[in-house]
Amino acid sequence: MNDPTDEELRARFRPLIEAELAALSSASETTGSDRRPVELDQQSVGRLSRMDAIQGQAMAAALEARRAARRLVLTQALGRMETDEYGYCADCGNFIGRKRLETDPAATRCIDCAR
């Protein structure tokens, strides 16, 4: 089977990448309040409740860090589309494979090189 053209790759995967970027941005906006500093007012919240709030804040911050990392690799994938490098392994230069790109549109390595 022939490798797809750069135009075919862009037409198939750009919408997927852009949709995932939009979903990540929306999720970040929705959960922004979860990352606010925890109020330490002794009268309004008990010690365990504050600990729960601090733990929730840390979990929200970690989730946002993962979202930011994913946004970065997706943005880099869009950049590779512009330079016609998208869909080709950064290590060996072979086509990554349609199924692998459908699983992760930001993949930079073919399955053999990723092992």
Retrieve residue 45's tokens: 């919240």
Of 34, 8, 28, give the one whose Cα is nearest residue 71.
28
Q: Does some domain include residue 47?
A: yes
Residue 103: inside a domain, yes or no?
no
Tell me if 57 is assigned to some domain: yes
Instruction: Kindly report whether the global pTM for this prediction surpasses the value 0.85.
Output: no
Note whether residue 111 is domain-resident: no
Q: Tell whether 90 is covered by a domain.
A: no
How far does the chain reach from its first CA to its final CA, in angstroms? 23
What does the pLDDT profile of the chain (115 residues) look like in tens digits? 578 899 999 999 999 999 999 999 999 888 665 555 555 555 555 667 777 878 888 888 899 999 999 999 999 999 999 999 999 999 999 999 999 999 999 999 999 999 9
Specify the number of domains making up the chain.
Answer: 1
Residue at 16 is within a domain: yes
Residue 69's domain comprises 6-85
27 in any annotated domain: yes
35: in domain: yes
| Chain Cα centroid distance, residue 71 | 4
